[in-house]
Each structure stands twice: as C-alpha cells, then as structure tokens.
Amino acid sequence: MIALVEAFLALGSNLGDRIRYMQRAINALRQHDHIRVMALSPLYETEAVGYTEQPDFLNMVAHVQTSLSPQDLLFVCMQIEKENGRTREIKWGPRTLDLDILLYGTQVIQEKNLVIPHPRMCERAFVMIPLCDLAPSLIHPVYKKTIQELTESVRGKEGVVPCTMIQWHDESAPIEN
C-alpha cells in the first residue's frame, strides 16, 4: 500500500485573470492521479510583500493528500506554474501563478532546490492566515508551535498587510451527497 502524506500548498497570483489562474491550479491538482485535494482555504486578496511595486495578490492554501515524494510534488507544482505562463524576471515579482510547498507531513527537508517547511512561511500573513483557517492545531515541525500560535504572532506584527477575504465560486468542487 502506498502511504499518503498530508501536505499544504500555498497558491498565489497577481497577474491577468487572477481568479482564473487560481481555479486552473486547483483543477490541475484535482486532476492529478497522485494528489487528492482535501480542503481549500478561503480566497484572500493581499497587498504585495517584499517587492511592493506590483499588483495585489490573490492567495489561498490547499490541503492535499499525496503519494508523491516531496521532489515529485515540487515538480508537479512547477509544471502547473509553467503551464499557466509563469515566468521569473524579478525576485518576488509579479506572477500569473505561484505554488509553494509549505508542509509535507512532519518532514524537515533541506535540499538544494527544496526546503520544507517553506522557510519564509511564518513571516507571511498571506500564508499563515489561510493556513490557520485549515489547520490551526497543526504543529510546525521546526518551531514546535501550533499554526494558530504562529499566526497570532504574525497578525500582531507591526506593518503586516491585511488579508481581505473575497467571494468566489469553486467551479470544480466535487458535488457533496
């Protein structure tokens, strides 16, 4: 039997038809044979952090189960970005679609092209707020604190940009019986 790992992915878009890009990412994850989308956070609109001269982002977090290895999951994320016109010109610059692996079970990974937990997740309200919507009591495998505790400290920080929840309709959501 193949072991399924619980993973959390951060999705972001700030170019073009942002909702469409987010939906395309979710659809691609749902269509993958080795990924099961378990839950999606609300969708948030957030001001750009880091490189600020760019449009506002849409951000969300997806909880998935997967039988893929961390490297294979990264490959799939990068493939979905590529299929959706992602280019890399400016560090932390605008993008049609960004998919980052935040957590992969309780594993701590330090490889040249892959660091998990995502090294900047805990300083980013646009990641922690939607992650906390899905998994407040999850323990961060490095800081050994709950996502709720880590989110409260980022929320309380001065200068943290607000995350505004926005309405959308998930076109590919499975129909509940």
Ligand X SMILES: Nc1ncnc2c1ncn2[C@@H]1O[C@H](COP(=O)(O)OP(=O)(O)OP(=O)(O)O)[C@@H](O)[C@H]1O
Enzyme catalytic residues? 86, 95, 98, 100
Tokens at residue 113, please? 């092209």
Tokens at residue 76, please? 């799939």
126: partner contacted, choices ligand PH2, ligand X, none (Cβ within 5-8 A by kind): ligand PH2
Closest by Cα among 101, 94, 78, 96 to 86: 96
Rounded to whole angstroms, how far apart are CA atoms 14 and 159? 21
Rounded to whole angstroms, how far apart are CA atoms 9 and 99? 7
143: partner contacted, choices ligand X, ligand PH2, none (Cβ within 5-8 A by kind): none
Work out how close the CB of 35 gets to ligand X at its nearest, in angstroms, rounded to a whole number: 15
115: partner contacted, choices ligand X, ligand PH2, none (Cβ within 5-8 A by kind): ligand X
Q: Does 114 bind ligand X (CB under 6 A)?
A: yes
Rounded to whole angstroms, how far apart are CA atoms 13 and 74? 18
Residue closer to ligand PH2 by CB (options 57, 104) is 57
Task: Give residues in contact with ligand PH2 (CB under 6 A).
Answer: 12, 46-50, 57, 59, 92, 98, 126
For 129, the enclosing helix (H) or strand (E) is helix 125-134
Tally: H helices and E strands in the chain: 4, 8
Residue closer to ligand PH2 by CB (options 5, 48) is 48
User: What SS3 class is residue 101?
Assistant: strand
Instruction: Out of 32, 34, 36, 120, name the contact with ligand X by CB under 6 A.
Output: 120
Residue closer to ligand X by CB (options 26, 77) is 77
Count of CB atoms situated within 10 Å of the CB of 79:
13
- Residues 84-113 close enough to bind ligand X by CB under 6 A: 88, 92, 98, 100-101, 113
For ligand PH2, the nearest residue by Cβ is 12
Mode of pairing for the β-strands spanning 5-13 and 57-66: antiparallel
For ligand X, the nearest residue by Cβ is 113
Question: By the criterion CB under 6 A, which residues form the site for ligand X?
Answer: 74, 88, 92, 98, 100-101, 113-116, 118, 120
